[in-house]
Amino acid sequence: MKAIEYFIKEIDIHIKRIEAVLPEINSWLPLTKDAFEDMEKVKSIDSFIYRYSKVQDKIGNKIFPESLKALQEYSDNMSLRDVLNRLEKLELIPSADEWIAFRELRNIATHEYPDNEEDVIDAINSLLTAYIKVKKIYTDIIDQI
């Protein structure tokens, strides 16, 4: 099995599990502080955040470089930013900056501290929208390679 095929199977598992909890989470939107008082809701939200992080990391760290390798556009010394810029130039992703913004949201959502509760809630609400875009980027790039 080629490396990219393995990564695709792994991402597909995470997407399937996100899709299982998404309808429930969407019924609570927009998420508020109250949602985090209900441990059953917290379990679903945490599952989404965990799986989203896995999907985004695997796409950024594995699928994107493998896609460029398949097109003979990759160099081992490319940073993530270089990879994203090249993918954008090749029109394989809509925006390098948008991908970076999705990562920043993910980082905010995964770092919970007593003084940033509202930021975390806002980030999670935004991640739910970002997930749709990340999934589209993933399916589009897989269709093109």
Q: What is the pLDDT of residue 115?
A: 81
CA-CA distances (angstroms) from residue 128 to 21, 37, 60, 66, 91? 11, 19, 18, 26, 24
pLDDT by residue (tens digit) across 10-41?
A: 999 999 999 999 999 999 999 999 999 999 99
Q: Which 3 state secondary structure label does DSSP give 90? A: coil
pTM of the model: 0.93
Q: State yes or no: pLDDT of 67 exceeds 90.
A: yes
pLDDT of residue 125: 97
To 10 degrees, the CA torsion angle through 137, 128, 80, 91? 20
Give dist(CA 137, CA 132) in Å, integer.
9
**What ranges do the domains of the chain cover?**
3-144
The pair of three-digit structure tokens given for residue 94, joined into one six-digit string: 């809509």
Is the predicted pLDDT of residue 114 greater than 80, yes or no?
Answer: no
pLDDT of 145 over the 90 cut? no
CA distances from 118 to 43, 53, 69, 98, 121 (A): 19, 20, 41, 22, 5
Using an 8 Å Cβ cutoff, are 17 and 54 in contact? no
Query: Which helix (DSSP H) or strand (DSSP E) does residue 38 occupy?
Result: none
